[in-house]
C-alpha cells in the first residue's frame, strides 16, 4: 500500500477507516483508489488459497481404456472468452424487472454494448461487454451476488 503524503491530495485517515467499515459492512474484499498521482489497493480478509486433495487411482482389472480423443477434451473445455465482473455486487440482466434483458444467448455485442447492471453499495453500474462477439451463454442468474473477476457471460468472437 502506498504511504499517504502530507498535504493536499493525500488520503484522509478518517476516510480510510470509513472505507474499511463500509467494505466490512457490505462484504467487499478489495478496493482500488487513485487520487493526485497516489494509488492504493486495499484488501481485507485472509488471502484465499486453494488446496486440491491428492487423488490416487487404483488399477481396475479387465478394463480396457484408451486416452480420451483430442476432440473429446476440446468439447469438454468451455469455448470462447468470458465477460467478467469488474466489481463485487448484485447482477441484474435488465434495467428494471419490467424491461427486457440487455443481452441473451445469441445476442451480438460490441465493446461498448451494455450487457448488464451490477449494483454495488446502492450504485447501479452499467457493465459494457468490452469485447465484440456473440453471447453464447449466461453464467449467472438475475439477482445473483457476483465477485470481482467472476465470469458473467461466455462470448464467442465473430
At 104-114, the pLDDT tens digits run 999 999 999 99
Tell me how many helices (H) and strands (E) the chain has: 2, 10
Predicted structure pTM score: 0.51
pLDDT of residue 93: 94
- Residues 38 and 26: beta-carbon distance below 8 Å: no
At 125-142, the pLDDT tens digits run 999 999 999 999 999 999
pLDDT of residue 153: 95
What is the dihedral sign for C-alpha 95, 97, 100, 103?
positive
Confidence of residue 4 (pLDDT cuts 50, 70, 90): very low
At 45-72, the pLDDT tens digits run 554 444 445 444 455 555 555 555 545 5
Residues of the chain with CATH 2.40.50.100: 79-156
The CATH classification number of 79-156 equals 2.40.50.100
pLDDT beyond 90 at 143: yes
C-alpha cell of residue 138: 449466461
> What is the DSSP annotation of 56-100?
-----TT---PPPPHHHHHHHSPPSEEEE-SSSEEEESSSSTTSP
Amino acid at each position: 500500500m502506498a504511504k499517504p503524503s502530507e498535504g493536499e491530495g493525500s488520503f484522509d485517515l478518517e476516510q480510510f477507516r470509513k472505507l474499511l467499515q463500509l467494505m466490512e459492512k457490505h462484504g467487499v474484499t478489495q478496493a482500488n483508489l487513485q487520487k493526485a498521482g497516489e494509488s492504493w489497493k486495499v484488501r481485507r480478509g485472509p488471502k484465499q488459497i486453494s488446496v486440491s486433495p491428492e487423488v490416487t487411482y487404483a488399477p481396475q482389472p479387465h478394463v480396457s481404456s484408451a486416452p480420451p480423443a483430442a476432440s473429446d477434451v476440446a468439447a469438454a473445455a468451455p469455448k470462447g472468452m468470458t465477460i467478467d465482473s469488474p466489481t463485487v455486487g448484485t447482477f441484474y440482466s435488465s434495467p428494471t424487472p419490467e424491461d427486457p434483458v440487455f443481452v441473451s444467448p445469441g445476442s451480438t455485442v460490441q465493446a461498448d454494448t451494455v450487457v448488464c447492471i451490477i449494483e454495488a453499495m446502492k450504485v447501479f453500474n452499467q457493465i459494457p461487454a468490452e469485447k465484440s462477439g456473440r453471447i453464447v451463454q449466461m453464467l449467472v442468474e438475475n439477482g445473483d451476488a457476483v465477485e470481482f473477476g467472476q465470469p458473467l457471460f461466455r462470448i464467442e468472437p465473430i
